[in-house]
Structure formats: structure tokens, C-alpha cells
Amino acid sequence: MSQPRFGVLLANLGTPDAPTPAAVRRYLAEFLWDERVVDVSRPLWWLILHGVILRVRPGRVARNYAAVWQAEGSPLLAIGRRQQRALAERLAECFGETIPVELAMTYGNPSMERAGQALRDAGVSRILVLPLFPQYSRSTTAAVFDRLARALKPCPHLPELRFVNSYHDHPAYIEALAASVREHWASHGGERGRLLMSYHGIPRRYAESGDPYPQQCAATSRALAEALDLADDAWLMSYQSRFGREEWLRPYTDETLQAWGGEGVEHVDVISPAFAADCLETLEELEVENRDNFLGAGGRVYRYIPALNDRADHIALFAQLVEQHSRGW
């Protein structure tokens, strides 16, 4: 069998192995210990994490996971596997040969080690790493780089690597987002609400220290609004999923929706361009919690627009990124 020209490693954040407190505790212990995610002094943070957070949060988070769990596992993993298979099929068509594609999580399973071994077993000596985070952040994209480096550290012969840093303003990404919004509107008879583009938040001080995430989120939002020909008062971007007591990027999604409901905004459509696959933060936090925030404050219609997941145009974007970043291989 001939050696593949290269392989692709799709990387996402991670998921517990089961919707149980024990599995969630293991996952959170790994995720929240990463200094890319929480950079508090290690001794102090160890006490907070193990003395408080891992005693309190796993039970509640496990219940939330149980509400969205699928037969194939967590939504993030199930969708990731579909993305992996669809991209492999698309690349075979584009390149006229088999390009191995593996899925790995920064935290939890499938691990970087497992994915790397699968690529090695397929004869891969060049790896294109595609983190499934459209907008770069130290807490997501950079964490993938760190985790992969740790997985590769024992290898005596390192593969040649290329790394996709972000694709926040890629034309195919913006058009796929716009198409999903147009299809959503069409499926509801053309009815449009005010569009809220909700991104996962990060602490404000991360941005102040040089993380380009808010600028890239803003660029995505402007490009999407232009593609949809939206007036300035027809949309807004916000940040969700804040954690802890310090200041995070504003405006906050939950506070925005509560304010809109109280101000007489009757209908909102919500999309989260930061997520390449639906997960707990979209299916539970956006679809359930923030729906309650808006309707409870006086809103009338709240609709969540799903992530791009394994849509054909999303997979086509991945294939374009692979083709562009693998030139010369």
C-alpha cells in the first residue's frame, strides 16, 4: 500500500466519556487545570479546583449532559465523528486518493495519542492540524497546540506538521453561516427576529494581554451581517459561558437577552459562530437557559440556529482549508 501524501487531525475541545458525575469530574479536572484555560497561581487554583469546583459542579453539569446525550455519545463527539467521516470522503474526491482523517480532543477522548497512533498506523508522516475553532484564542486553539506537542514528545521521529491558526473570515465559512441563517428564516416562512451572534467568552484580561479573539469575533460578525445585508440595529454580538468572578468580554449573552425581553423585543434568532459543532454550551445553555432568560423577561419568540455541524457547505470549507494549507505536500 502506498504511503498517504499526508493526514488530517481534526481537533476540538473535549467531552466527558459519560453523563455521570464521576466522568464529568475527570473531564473538568483535566480541562480546568490547563493554564491556557485558567492561569491562576497553581497552588491557589488547586485548592479552589479540588476543594470547591470539583465537589460542586460535576453533579449539575452531568445532569445537563444527560439532557442532551445521544446514542453515539455526547453531541460534540457524535457530530465530530460525522465531520471526520464526511471530510475523509470529500478529500478522497478532491485529491483522488485516500487522505486519512482522525479526530482528537484537547481534553478527554479520543486523545491526541490515540489519533496520532492511528495516523502513524496509516503510514502518515505529515500531519495537517485543523482545530475546529474558527476564531483563535489562547484557551482553545493554542491549547490544541500544547496538547499535541505533549502527545508527540515521546516520539523519536516527529511528523512534519502544519497548523491552521484560524478561519474566522474565510469566505466559505462566512457563506456557510449566512446560508444556515437564510435557511432558518425560510423554514419559518421568512419571519426574521433580531439576530444575536453569541460567542464563547474569555476573561477580558486575556484580550488585554494580546489574545486576538474579540477582534476575530467582531470580524466574523461584521462579515456575516454584510452577507445577510443586515441593518446595524438588526443584529448584535455577545459572549456567553463566563466562569468565575472576574470580568469577561462584554456584552454578556444572558444579560443581553434579558434586557431585550424587558425592552419589548419580541423575537430573536440566536446563532453561535464560535462553535463548529453543537455541544452543551449551545444545546443546553443557548437553547434552554437563554431561551428562559428571554421569554421570562417578556420576549415572545426565541429560536436557536444550529451550528454548522456536518452540513455539506461546512465540510466543503474544511476541504478548502486542507487543500490550501497542504500545498506543496
What is the chain's pLDDT, residue by residue, as a tens digit (329 residues)?
Answer: 689 999 999 999 999 999 999 999 999 999 999 999 999 999 999 999 999 999 999 999 999 999 999 999 999 999 999 999 999 999 999 999 999 999 999 999 999 999 999 999 999 999 999 999 999 999 999 999 999 999 999 999 999 999 999 999 999 999 999 999 999 999 999 999 999 999 999 999 999 999 999 999 999 999 999 999 999 999 999 999 999 889 999 999 999 999 999 999 999 999 999 999 999 999 999 999 999 999 999 999 999 999 999 999 999 999 999 999 999 99
CATH dotted code for 171-304:
3.40.50.1400
Strand 194-200, strand 235-240: pairing: parallel
pLDDT at 1: 61
Closest by CA to 289, choosing from 99, 67, 85, is: 67
**54-65: b (≥16 Cβ within 10 Å) or e:** beebbeebbebb
Spacing of C-alpha 209 from chain mean position:
22
Domain ranges of the chain: 171-304
129 bridge partner residues: 9, 163
**Is residue 168 a known part of a binding site?**
no
CA distance 310 to 313: 8
CA distance 203 to 144: 19
